[in-house]
């Protein structure tokens, strides 16, 4: 009996020990769970703070975008107003300057005609320089006026189907006297062009473009060189016109700015006077008529301008 009671006591003691161990394990688990819960709550709190910070950042960015948009809109409106004011100023000034400039040229011509026998060589030379400078200024005034019209969109175009062959012959005949002064060979490199080939463009503006490019090909050429005008069909509905010269060519650095208003390349100053506006006007007019202009050049070997316009063959 005593042994049995001893075993019972031992069993109780063991149960007490197991219970204590269980309590300790439960306490540890509870502590760990509380720690994890606190960590989770802190993480949730941190995430909420991060979300609030992100929302605040979004609100700040949205406000900045709205402010920048307003500033940009205001700047664009001011730029448009300034551009319109500049265009109007150039237009008015060009008109105002043309009248006295024409008067100066007119009186210069009268002096050259009426006093030619009464002037010595120096006076005649000075009078000729006045006339030459007046012509140059008048060209500049006219080109600035033309450029201001293009910038403001106040330029009228009447596109139509233009038979190309007669127009090319006409502009070549107009440029030949100028070319003869430099002993240049001017030729039509596309004699077989059919009379039914047409381009869709404004006749007056296309003629202006061709004369400007041919004039440049003549002015910036070398004595005894050549100017070739040719064209060909580009199926299915386009026509290319090429103006080639054997002049000094255009450097790569100048090529990047070639069509900028008032830009004149390094060779331009060596060869002839100019305003630096003609090519800019040519490019604008070409594009306004639905065409495009390209240029290839090699220094000391010449330049080729290519015009591409809508066109084709007139059906008979």
Residue-range domain boundaries for the chain: 1-155, 160-313
- In whole angstroms, what separates CA 138 from the centre of its chain? 27
Q: Which long-range contacts (CB under 8 A, 24 or more apart) does 252-256 make?
A: 255/295, 255/297
Average pLDDT over the chain reads 83
Query: Whole-angstrom Cα distance, residue 70 to residue 289?
Result: 36
Q: Report in angstroms the alpha-carbon separations of 244 from 8, 155, 213, 259, 272.
A: 122, 29, 9, 18, 18
The CA R_g of the chain, rounded to the nearest whole Å, is 42
- Helix H or strand E segment including 298: strand 292-298
Binned at pLDDT 50, 70 and 90, residue 192 comes out as low
Residue 42, both tokens: 């802190």
pLDDT-derived band at 269 (thresholds 50, 70, 90) equals: very low
pLDDT digits (tens, 9 = 90+) for 220-233: 898 899 999 999 88
Beta bridge partners of 199: 162, 311
Contact 195, 163 (CB under 8 A): yes
Of the candidates 308, 269, 315, 303, the one whose C-alpha atom is nearest the C-alpha of residue 290 is 308
What's the pTM? 0.66
For residues 217 and 302, give the distance between their C-alpha atoms in angstroms, rounded to a whole number.
9
d(CA 278, CA 61) in angstroms, rounded, equals 47
Q: Return the CATH fold of 1-155.
A: Helix Hairpins (1.10.287)
Read off φ and ψ for residue 294, nearest 5 degrees: -130, 155
The 10s digit of each residue's pLDDT in 27-78 is 777 777 787 878 888 888 888 888 888 888 889 889 998 999 898 888 888 8
Judge whether residue 161 has pLDDT over 90: yes
| CATH architecture of the domain covering 160-313 | 2-Layer Sandwich (3.30)
Mean pLDDT of the 189-213 span? 84
What are all long-range contacts of 85-88, with beta carbons under 8 Å and residues at least 24 apart?
86/148, 87/148, 87/151, 87/152, 88/152
Is the model more confident about 292 or about 2? 292
Region 124-145 average pLDDT: 82
Proportion of the chain above pLDDT 90, given as a percent: 24
Cα dihedral sign, 5-10-15-16: positive
């Amino acid at each position: 009996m005593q042994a049995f009671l001893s075993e019972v006591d031992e069993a109780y003691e063991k149960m007490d020990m197991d219970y204590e161990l269980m309590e300790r394990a439960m306490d540890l688990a509870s502590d760990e769970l509380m720690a994890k819960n606190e960590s989770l709550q802190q993480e949730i709190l941190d995430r909420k703070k991060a979300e609030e910070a992100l929302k605040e950042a979004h609100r700040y960015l949205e406000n900045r975008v709205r402010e920048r948009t307003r500033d940009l809109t205001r700047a664009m409106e001011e730029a448009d107003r300034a551009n319109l004011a500049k265009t109007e100023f150039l237009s008015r000034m060009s008109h105002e300057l043309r009248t006295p400039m024409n008067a100066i040229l007119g009186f210069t011509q009268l002096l050259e005609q009426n006093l030619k026998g009464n002037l010595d060589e120096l006076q005649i030379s000075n009078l000729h320089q006045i006339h030459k400078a007046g012509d140059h200024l008048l060209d500049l005034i006219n080109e600035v006026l033309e450029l201001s019209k293009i910038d403001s969109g106040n330029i009228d175009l009447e596109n139509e189907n233009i038979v190309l062959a007669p127009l090319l012959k006409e502009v070549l005949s107009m440029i030949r006297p100028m070319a003869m002064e430099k002993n240049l060979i001017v030729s039509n490199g596309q004699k077989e062009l059919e009379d039914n080939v047409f381009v869709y463009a404004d006749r007056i503006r296309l003629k202006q473009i061709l004369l400007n490019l041919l004039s440049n090909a003549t002015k910036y050429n070398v004595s005894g060189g050549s100017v070739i005008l040719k064209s060909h069909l580009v199926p299915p509905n386009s026509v290319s016109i090429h103006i080639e010269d054997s002049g000094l060519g255009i450097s790569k650095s100048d090529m990047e700015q070639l069509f900028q208003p008032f830009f004149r390349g390094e060779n331009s100053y060596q060869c002839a006077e100019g305003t630096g506006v003609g090519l800019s006007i040519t490019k604008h007019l070409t594009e306004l008529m639905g065409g495009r202009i390209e240029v290839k050049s090699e220094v000391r070997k010449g330049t080729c301008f290519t015009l591409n316009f809508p066109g084709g063959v007139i059906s008979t």
